[in-house]
Structure 1
Amino acid sequence: MDKPLSSIPAKRYFTIGEVSDLCGVKPHVLRYWEQEFTQLRPMKRRGNRRYYQHHEVLMIRRIRDLLYDQGFTITGARNKLQETFQSERDVRRNGDVIPGGADTAPSDDVGHRDFDNSLDFEDDVDVADLSGEGDLSHRLQLIRRELYEIRNLLSETD
């Protein structure tokens, strides 16, 4: 487990095998963690194939760090993630600056904020929804999400 993790490629979706290699965790462990950590919800396509997004890979690395490196139990890691998410939401709601800067691109270092936690996004949203009619705040949320994904991809190439 001491082997350093490789950098995450600039891709939009990753298979469970790719995530397993990137995070140093076996696929069956990833499937188990999906049941234990509600924040971890990969998209499923044909035949229930899982496709993880970049922010989910970061979250898995964070979970791995809490469990394997810091010695948390699953319940403890779940609580720690929940505390972190809640404190970041509270800080954003109060208009304060999050340590490390809310306007900085998320890092793939497990010690920093996970991409998934940097914004309060709705699940199962599609950028194609931007062209249709709908709630302005929902459409802005979609734009914001896409911009953060683009920013993250660009920061990886540096």
Structure 2
Amino acid sequence: MQEHGEKSPDLDPIPSKRYFTIGEAAELCDLKPHVLRYWEQEFKQIQPIKRNNRRYYQRQDLLLIRQIRSLLYEQGFTITGARQWLTGEVAGDDSARYQQLIRQTINELDDILKILKSHK
């Protein structure tokens, strides 16, 4: 587990399964489970399915969590700033945001490529 402020290592590709427990989600996003629970309170976009008092995350949740992690730990956003960025409330030059979206898309495509190559 990395400390706040360090450059994150490349995260493992997200396996192709429908639901992930909080432990699996935390591991795939290089976070601790209590951080995920806290972020659920701070970022309304994170909405795991809750059944029998357990959380189940889907792929889109993990992608969002990884994006939030990048905003906070790698790009230096505050929670308020990250929340504003995610809701599109940040004023000013959008080029940095588009560059980030392009980087994220490339990373996701790399993940898909790794998964496809591993299934040969």
Quick check: TM above 0.5?
Answer: yes
For 1:111, the aligned partner's letter is Q
User: Residues 48 and 56 of structure 2 are in contact (CA less than 8 Å); yes or no, is this contact kept in structure 1?
Assistant: yes
Give the TM-score taking structure 1 as reference length: 0.54
Query: Structure 1 CA distance, aligned partners of 2:103 and 2:83?
Result: 15
For 2:32, the aligned partner's letter is K
Match of 2:95 in 1: none
For 1:6, the aligned partner's letter is D
Match of 1:111 in 2: 104
Superposed counterparts of 1:1-158, under 5 Å? 1=2, 2-46=8-52, 48-83=53-88, 111-112=104-105, 157-158=115-116
Query: Structure 2 CA distance, aligned partners of 1:110 and 1:44?
Result: 31
Higher RCO (CA 8 Å, separation ≥ 6 residues) = 2
Query: Structure 2 CA distance, aligned partners of 1:6 and 1:33?
Result: 21
Query: Structure 2 CA distance, aligned partners of 1:64 and 1:54?
Result: 15
- Point out 4+ residue stretches in structure 1 off by more than 4 angstroms: none
Query: Structure 2 CA distance, aligned partners of 1:111 and 1:32?
Result: 23
Structure 1 regions of 5+ residues with no counterpart? 85-98, 100-106, 116-153
Query: Structure 1 CA distance, aligned partners of 2:30 and 2:87?
Result: 23
Q: How many residues align?
A: 96
Match of 1:133 in 2: none
Q: Percent identity?
A: 55
The alignment's C-alpha RMSD in Å is 2.7
Give the greater-gyration-radius structure (CA): 1
